[in-house]
């Protein structure tokens, strides 16, 4: 009935998340409101963690991709579960640091890191800096020499894999702003230079082929390509790569049409490839890393809105307008992303119509979705949009000078604020 198992209907006919009444959440905290189920987050982390331990014999590490959802409380939960963190900016790096995250379990990504970011990463003692291009390698070597440090690095590699996903979220093909290409020899030359650097230590390789991927075969193929490159490095330089990060990108269920594989299935199948290829190529089994983000945060979250206007255009469509939109969820206008929605205070009723849920921003394209099955929605109703835990809060903005919503965590029937709603003073605090 629902895209996430943590959703239900209580005796009042209202939608619940993690056993908590969403209508009461809207009344208590206001809307728009991001709601995250802590147990779903923890359970997903544990499934990845346990599967990595099982299929890689304890020689694996899960790094949550914090770009999907980053706040201090999320960092604390990931740390509490014993996992690592993937950060992509100075802001995400600082958030982890201020949350008391163990920085040795942090990997720092980015295709255009600033010198300030590189210095801070070294100062904080991050576990790995994932180097994206040769310019960055040169700058990092110089900065590390100045700081009398030897940071561990991974190279981000483009394995040339078609991940069968939206063009905007494909990252593993040669025409990508991310990483070193294998086809051109660029990656090989970078490794050749890095093994001779005095102030960086080449620890591993990294790849990421895209996002919202349901087919496991591209991940298996990426593992083969990367291990083949590790073998080439060993044969030509006598240098053994210690770590291999295969990234993330695992798809989740946004609507009933989506059919993602269990996390364990992905890890099991890829581990078979890794073990067989290492044995065939005569290379040691590297420590394995993965970076799930959406698959951990996405299903845990919903967004609650209050319906304002209802506009029926005969023989064309019905607009149901809510008090949020592209400022708190830009994924529809960016990618045409589909969602499931429920009138939270009428959750026990049948979905009797198809509507376009419109946001309040001054843009015609400001929509949550079109032709969305929904219970009859009227002014004052509460609408829940499901599976919004990833890339909604993270991509939110102050467009039209709207305030960013609060983030509430629910756990064991209780709720708590983890990110406060912005105030009007927050909007103008940096104005001069």
The neighbouring-strand residues paired with 265 are: none
**Per-residue 3-state assignment (H helix, E strand, C coil) for 20-32:** EEHHHHHHHHCCC
Element holding 156 (H helix, E strand): strand 152-158
**Residue holding tokens 């894999």?**
161
Question: Burial code of 227-264, b = ≥16 C-beta within 10 A, e = fewer?
Answer: bbbbbbbbeeeeeebbbbbbbbbbbbbbbeeeebeebe
Query: Active-site residue among 71, 361, 362, 386?
Result: 362
CB 69 within 8 A of CB 389: yes
Q: What share of the chain is helix, strand, coil (3-state, %, to 5)?
A: 35, 25, 40
Q: Assess whether 278 carries a catalytic annotation.
A: no
CB 368 within 8 A of CB 322: yes
Task: Provide the token pair at 154.
Answer: 């991974």
**Per-residue 3-state assignment (H helix, E strand, C coil) for 367-382:** EEEEEEEECCCCCCCE
Q: In angstroms, rounded to a whole number, what is the distance separating the alpha carbons of residues 30 and 317? A: 28
Ramachandran angles phi, psi of 254, nearest 5°: -90, -35
Element holding 407 (H helix, E strand): strand 406-411
Q: In angstroms, rounded to a whole number, what is the distance separating the alpha carbons of residues 310 and 319? A: 6
Active-site residue list: 362
């Amino acid at each position: 009935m629902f895209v996430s198992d943590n959703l239900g209907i209580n005796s009042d006919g209202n939608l619940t998340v993690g056993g908590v009444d969403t209508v009461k959440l809207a009344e208590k905290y206001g809307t728009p409101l991001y709601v995250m189920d802590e147990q779903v987050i923890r359970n997903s982390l544990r499934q990845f963690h346990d599967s990595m331990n099982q299929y890689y014999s304890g020689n694996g590490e899960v790094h949550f991709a914090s770009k999907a959802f980053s706040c201090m409380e999320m960092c604390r939960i990931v740390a509490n579960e014993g996992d690592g963190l993937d950060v992509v900016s100075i802001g995400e790096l600082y958030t982890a640091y201020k949350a008391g995250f163990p920085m040795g379990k942090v990997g720092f990504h980015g295709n255009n890191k600033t010198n300030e970011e590189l210095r801070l990463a070294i100062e904080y003692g991050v576990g790995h800096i994932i180097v994206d291009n040769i310019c960055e390698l040169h700058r990092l070597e110089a900065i590390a020499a100045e700081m009398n440090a030897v940071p561990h690095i991974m190279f981000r590699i483009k394995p040339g894999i078609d991940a069968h996903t939206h063009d905007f979220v494909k990252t593993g093909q040669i025409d990508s702003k991310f990483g070193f290409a294998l086809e051109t020899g660029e990656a090989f030359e970078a490794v050749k230079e890095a093994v001779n650097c005095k102030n960086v230590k080449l620890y591993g390789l990294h790849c990421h082929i895209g996002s919202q991927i349901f087919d496991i075969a591209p991940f298996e193929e990426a593992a083969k390509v990367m291990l083949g490159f590790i073998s080439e490095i060993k044969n030509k330089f006598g240098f053994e790569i210690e770590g291999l990060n295969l990234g993330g990108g695992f798809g989740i269920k946004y609507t009933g049409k989506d059919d993602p594989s269990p996390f364990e299935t992905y890890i099991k199948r890829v581990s078979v490839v890794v073990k067989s290829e290492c044995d065939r190529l005569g290379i040691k089994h590297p420590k394995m890393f993965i970076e799930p983000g959406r698959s951990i945060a996405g299903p845990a979250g919903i967004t609650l809105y209050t319906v304002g206007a209802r506009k029926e255009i005969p023989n064309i469509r019905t607009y149901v307008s809510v008090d949020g939109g592209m400022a708190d969820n830009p994924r529809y206008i960016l990618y045409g992303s589909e969602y499931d929605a429920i009138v939270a205070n009428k959750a026990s009723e049948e979905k009797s119509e198809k509507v376009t849920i419109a946001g309040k921003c001054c843009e015609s394209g400001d929509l949550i979705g079109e032709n969305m099955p929904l219970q009859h929605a009227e002014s004052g109703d509460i609408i829940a949009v499901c599976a919004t835990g990833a890339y909604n809060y993270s991509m939110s903005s102050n467009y039209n000078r709207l305030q960013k919503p609060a983030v509430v965590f629910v756990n064991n029937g209780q709720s708590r604020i983890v990110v406060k709603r912005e105030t009007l003073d927050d909007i103008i605090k940096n104005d001069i």
